[in-house]
Amino acid sequence: MAVFGYGRVSTAEQTVDNQRLEVERAGYAVEYWFADTVSGKAHAAQRKQFAEMLSKLRARDTVVVSKLDRLGRDAPDVLSTIKDLATMGVEVVVLQLGKLDLTSPAGKLMLAMLAAVAEMERDLIVERTQAGLARAKAEGKILGRPSKTTPEQRQAMIDGYTKNESVSALARRYGISRATVLTVVKPSD
């Protein structure tokens, strides 16, 4: 009956220290700690450390996480992860929910609602990001990576290509890849 802790952060600049501290302050003596640095968009089973933790779990072990979204990328993934752990006989503690039996009817309802809210929050972030990009575009801002060539260079490439200059020669002359030359001389309109 071991206690496993799991934490996840999205970027290398972040740390799981606060999550671990939160678990320990809740009174759990974590024997095995696993942590991933991976986007929340990755399914639980696709996370290296989470998968390793799953391989070590036995019946009557406990998995403790600080928040529900650590257990999956969206509502179906979280529910599937909890169901799989319950099938293994593993108790799942989500500190954000308090001490709640996630396999009881009330626990399942609470879990489904919270997972759906977390998924909605992620969808709203995407929606706001898209709105911000659309506004920036409407304001005339150039989005994406800066061009490797000037408009004059691109026109010279087109002219050279129409005069049978090879793509390789153009790439060497302008210090860019053949693929970049081809996007200039043969646009995929």
Q: Does domain 3-120 have CATH number 3.40.50.12280?
A: no
Give the tens place of pLDDT for each residue, 66-125.
988 888 877 788 888 888 898 899 988 888 887 676 766 777 788 778 778 877 888 898
Tell me if residue 25 falls in helix, strand or coil: helix
- Which residues are known catalytic residues? 10
For the entire predicted model, the pTM comes to 0.59
Give the tens place of pLDDT for each residue, 125-184.
899 999 999 999 999 998 888 888 999 999 999 999 999 999 999 999 999 999 999 999
Mean pLDDT of 1-28: 90
Q: What is the CA radius of gyration of the chain?
A: 25
CA distance 73 to 54: 17
Q: pLDDT value at position 163? A: 93
Annotated domain spans of the chain: 3-120, 151-185
**DSSP structural state of residue 101:** -
